[in-house]
Amino acid sequence: MAAHTDRQFERRLSALVNARERRVLLEGLKGVEKESLRVRPDGHLATTPHPYELGSALTNEHITTDFSESLIELVTPTFRNNPDLLQYLNDLHQFVYRHLGDELLWATSMPCELSSGDEVPVARYGVSNIGLMKTAYRNGLRHRYGALMQAISGVHFNYSFPQLFWEVYAQVRHTADSREFRSAGYFDLLRNYRRHGWLVLYLFGVSPTVSRSFLASSGQQLPLLDEHTAWEPYGTTLRMSDIGYRNRNQAAVDISVNSLDEYVRDLRRATDTPFPEYEKIGVLVDGDYRQLTSNILQIENEYYSYIRPKRVTRSGERPSTALHRAGVEYVEVRALDVSVLDPVGVNLNKMRFLEAFLAMCVLRDSPPQSVDDQHQLDDNHLQVARRGREPGLMLQRDGRPQSLVQWGTEILESMQGLCELLDEGDPARPYTVALKVQREKLQDVDRTPSARLLAELRRTGESFNQLAGRVSAEHKAHFLQQHPPDNLRLANFRRDADESLAEQRRLEATQTGSFANYLERYFVDG
Summarised one tens digit per residue, pLDDT across range 368-388 is 999 999 999 999 999 999 999
| Fold adopted by 26-191+202-348+470-525 | Creatine Kinase; Chain A, domain 2 (3.30.590)
Q: For residue 426, what pLDDT band results from cuts at 50, 70 and 90?
A: very high
The predicted structure's pLDDT at residue 250: 63
Would you state the torsion angle of the CA atoms of residues 138, 141, 143, 148, taken in this order, to the nearest 10 degrees?
Answer: -100
User: Mean of the pLDDT values across residues 413-432?
Assistant: 96
Which range, of 110-119, 242-251, 405-414, averages the lowest pLDDT? Answer: 242-251
Q: For residue 251, what pLDDT band results from cuts at 50, 70 and 90?
A: low
DSSP 8-state secondary structure symbol assigned to residue 51: P
Whether residue 81 is predicted with pLDDT greater than 60 in this model: the reply is yes
In what helix (H) or strand (E) does residue 155 lie, and over which residues does it extend? strand 155-160
Whether residue 353 is predicted with pLDDT greater than 90 in this model: the reply is yes
Q: What is the pTM of this model?
A: 0.96
Q: Tell me how far apart the alpha carbons of residues 183 and 342 are, in angstroms, rounded to a whole number.
A: 34
User: Mean of the pLDDT values across residues 260-287?
Assistant: 96
Q: Tell me how far apart the alpha carbons of residues 12 and 16 are, in angstroms, rounded to a whole number.
A: 6
Please give the C-alpha separations between residue 47 and each of 37, 114, 172, in angstroms, as whole numbers.
10, 12, 55
Residues contacting residue 111 through CB under 8 Å, at least 6 positions apart: 37, 45, 148, 151, 152, 153, 210, 211, 214
Beta bridge partners of 284: 289
Please report the sign of the dihedral spanned by the C-alpha atoms of residue 298, residue 302, residue 305, residue 308. positive
Please report, in angstroms and rounded to a whole number, the separation of the first and last CA atoms in the chain: 41
Whether residue 524 is predicted with pLDDT greater than 90 in this model: the reply is no
| Range 421-447 burial, b when 16+ CB lie within 10 A, else e | bbbeeeeeebbbebbeebbebbeebee
The predicted structure's pLDDT at residue 1: 40
Largest Cα span, the chain: 67
Instruction: Please report, rounded to a whole number, the percentage of residues in the chain having pLDDT higher than 90.
Output: 89
Q: Is 83 left (phi over 0), alpha (psi -120 to 50) or beta?
A: alpha
Q: For residue 277, what pLDDT band results from cuts at 50, 70 and 90?
A: very high
The predicted structure's pLDDT at residue 2: 44
The predicted structure's pLDDT at residue 247: 54
Please give the C-alpha separations between residue 147 and each of 62, 70, 152, 214, in angstroms, as whole numbers.
24, 12, 9, 11
Would you state the torsion angle of the CA atoms of residues 209, 210, 212, 217, taken in this order, to the nearest 10 degrees?
Answer: -140
Residues contacting residue 452 through CB under 8 Å, at least 6 positions apart: 206, 341, 446
Q: Nearest CA to 299 among 316, 281, 286, 324?
A: 316
Whether residue 221 is predicted with pLDDT greater than 90 in this model: the reply is no
Grouping H, G, I as helix, E, B as strand and the rest as coil, residue 203 is helix
Q: How does the average pLDDT of the chain come out, rounded?
A: 95
Residues contacting residue 502 through CB under 8 Å, at least 6 positions apart: none
Name the more confident of 23 and 39. Answer: 39
Which range, of 165-179, 246-260, 401-415, averages the lowest pLDDT? Answer: 246-260
Q: Is the peptide bond before 343 cis (omega within 30 degrees of 0)?
A: no
Instruction: Please report, rounded to a whole number, the percentage of residues in the chain having pLDDT higher than 70.
Output: 97
Grouping H, G, I as helix, E, B as strand and the rest as coil, residue 81 is coil
The predicted structure's pLDDT at residue 216: 79
What is the per-residue pLDDT across 284-338, written as a single tens digit (0 to 9) for each? 999 999 999 999 999 999 998 999 999 999 988 999 999 999 999 999 999 999 9
Q: For residue 115, what pLDDT band results from cuts at 50, 70 and 90?
A: confident
DSSP 8-state secondary structure symbol assigned to residue 146: -
Would you state the torsion angle of the CA atoms of residues 103, 107, 110, 116, taken in this order, to the nearest 10 degrees?
Answer: -10
Whether residue 5 is predicted with pLDDT greater than 60 in this model: the reply is no
Residues contacting residue 482 through CB under 8 Å, at least 6 positions apart: 90, 94
The predicted structure's pLDDT at residue 4: 39
Q: Nearest CA to 167 among 176, 157, 154?
A: 176
Whether residue 526 is predicted with pLDDT greater than 90 in this model: the reply is no
Q: How many CB atoms lie within 10 A of CB 179?
A: 13
The predicted structure's pLDDT at residue 246: 60
Q: Tell me how far apart the alpha carbons of residues 499 and 119 are, in angstroms, rounded to a whole number.
A: 31
